[in-house]
Amino acid sequence: MRLIPPKVKRECIAAGEDMSLTRPAFLQKVLFPKDGFGLKPRVFTKSTAELDKGQRVPSVSVKDHLPYFFDEPGDDGVFCRALKEYIQAEKLLSTYVDTRE
């Protein structure tokens, strides 16, 4: 969370939004707008990929999209690599360890 741009954090706190790293809407705010890391989307969600440019929604897929950004300089690449590890660990934890219902 320390790598997330401060302006994005402030906006989410002010709006009372959940800052969960597994929530696609939050990740889109962190990765793509100028207030976030300002990365240029390369892959879009399956349901919006064929729409006009302004209507497409960037994918936050760990498999399909995040690897494009692993080599970005500075905090951008560091965040994307750490995010991949976090999401994979979270999935393993929820699948094999966390048995609460």
pLDDT in tens, 21-48: 989 999 999 999 999 999 999 999 999 9
| Model pTM above 0.75 | yes
Q: Residue 15: pLDDT above 90?
A: yes
Closest CA to 39 of 68, 7, 78: 68
Listed by start position, the domains of the chain span: 6-97
Q: Which amino acid would we find at residue 36?
A: G
The total number of residues shown for the chain amounts to: 101
